Structure 1
Amino acid sequence: MVKYQQIAKIIRKRIQEGVYPVDSLIPDQVTLSKEFDVSRMTMKKALDILAMEGLIYRQRGAGTFVMKNALINQLDTKAEEYDGLTKQLPDKEITSKIIYFDIEFPSEKVMEQLMLKENQPVYKLIRLRCLEGQPYVLEHTYMPSDIVTGLTEDILLGSIYRYLKEDLGLVFGGAFRKIHADKASEYDIDYLECAPHDPVLEVEQVVYLQNGKPFEYSRSRHRYDKRSYTILDINKSS
């Protein structure tokens, strides 16, 4: 993590913990630059991140303030983020339980989403991700075995995305995500501890490499009371 991202993380935490209250004026760039012993340009980059996240806003001639909607649940996830749970919640204890792990030929749905032929095998993974020891998300994931090579149970117990980036050197290009409600399945009841009639939040996504090749099709299932997604809509014309 580069310096300005580290600074943004610290200031973000101060906002979430009320060190900088809603509607309050935070220290100016010069003061913050001296505190963190960085240049004003580095400090500006850190504040730009927080502004894009909707945590602060600048008022010409007055300074930088904490926005009223800044005290969102820190477990909320931005809808455009797809880099994995470990990166999204770096300060939390994330553990994984492998429910299913095998190589098989893709179904028609998986072939369509991953642009595969019927004789191209895929990894099929089902993992329960736990947050601070509590069931958090149930992931049903498919990855082409010729792109995502060498998967092991040890990798699945940690961060798959870290393995893809650091060990395989894959460069992500983007993702398409669809977020919708569904009824609890038997898996959801067993592993997420849902009640039989509880609604479930499902995030269906296809993730692409920089060259446009899809390498993951997944359905992430969440209890309705455990996770939510946010969208920041910025008027860029003003």
Structure 2
Amino acid sequence: MKKYELVANDIKAKIISGYYAKGSILPDQKTLAEDFAVSKITIKNALDNLANAGFVLKTSGFGTVVIGPSTLITDKDAPASNFEGLTDQAGAERVASKVIKFDLEFPSADVKTHLNINDEEPVYHIIRLRLLDGDPFIIENTYMPVALVPGLSQSVLESSIYTYIHDTLHLKFAGISRNIQARQADELDMRYLNVSKNSAILEIEQIVWLVNGKPIEYSTSRNDSNKRSYYLFETM
């Protein structure tokens, strides 16, 4: 777990316990950095994490207000704007991956458009079943340009692609576009998610961009709507 996540979890626990009461103002970032013996950027990332989860509201000129935990967010929800993968969200000890497909392909017309590449630029086509605590959770269907993600291997797919991108390739995400829709279960869902033909499936289609503006991922992920939903927390 990253240092800012440890700090965020500590502050979150204090909010849940009532140590930081709803409506109160958290100490400023300099004070928190001194209290936790970390840098101000670590505190900023921790507060961003808590804001995305609906525990605090960062306001200009007023400070960071404690508002959570939000009564609208349950433990099965995930932030709609989160850049983290499932492994970071749930913890590596809870997540496993079963690789269903791992091929090199030339892009279809849709994939070419979404990734802004030409016909002759190969892509990885990856289908993975993500398991949470040993149970089928999400099916991911992912395309990534080989040129941007060199050296992708079976062992990486069985752990965390995003960790490989960030820690090994040293690439940073800058933006994400998501389209969330309700779907009916298809054959892949029924086979791997253990759902019936009439089950409601939540599909998240997304494109992820690097800081240089290049799309690095086009993917769809599908899950049983009873197991995971998404929330959006915004400031006005």
TM-score (norm 1): 0.81
Distance (whole Å) between structure 2 residues aligned to residue 47 and residue 174 of structure 1: 19
Q: Per the alignment, in what secondary structure is the counterpart of residue 11 of structure 1? A: helix
What are the within-5 Å matches in structure 2 for residues 1-238 of structure 1?
Answer: 5-15=5-15, 18-20=16-18, 29=27, 36-38=35-37, 45=44, 46=46, 49-51=49-51, 53-56=53-56, 65-67=66-68, 69-70=70-71, 72-90=73-91, 93-235=94-236
Going from structure 1 to structure 2, the CA distance change for 1:105 and 1:12 (only over 3 Å counts) comes to same
Going from structure 1 to structure 2, the CA distance change for 1:2 and 1:116 (only over 3 Å counts) comes to closer
**% same residue:** 38
Distance (whole Å) between structure 1 residues aligned to residue 115 and residue 48 of structure 2: 36
Deviation sequence 1:73-103 (CA, Å, 0-9, x none):
2331111113211112237510000111111
Going from structure 1 to structure 2, the CA distance change for 1:49 and 1:116 (only over 3 Å counts) comes to closer
Contact 1:174 1:208 in 2 (8 A): yes
Going from structure 1 to structure 2, the CA distance change for 1:91 and 1:14 (only over 3 Å counts) comes to farther
Deviation at 1:208? 1.1
Going from structure 1 to structure 2, the CA distance change for 1:47 and 1:187 (only over 3 Å counts) comes to closer
Contact 1:78 1:229 in 2 (8 A): yes
Distance (whole Å) between structure 1 residues aligned to residue 71 and residue 20 of structure 2: 7
Q: CA RMSD in A?
A: 3.4
> Structure 2 regions of 5+ residues with no counterpart?
59-63
Going from structure 1 to structure 2, the CA distance change for 1:234 and 1:93 (only over 3 Å counts) comes to same
> Structure 1 regions of 5+ residues with no counterpart?
none
Distance (whole Å) between structure 1 residues aligned to residue 43 and residue 146 of structure 2: 43
Larger Rg: 1
Going from structure 1 to structure 2, the CA distance change for 1:110 and 1:14 (only over 3 Å counts) comes to same
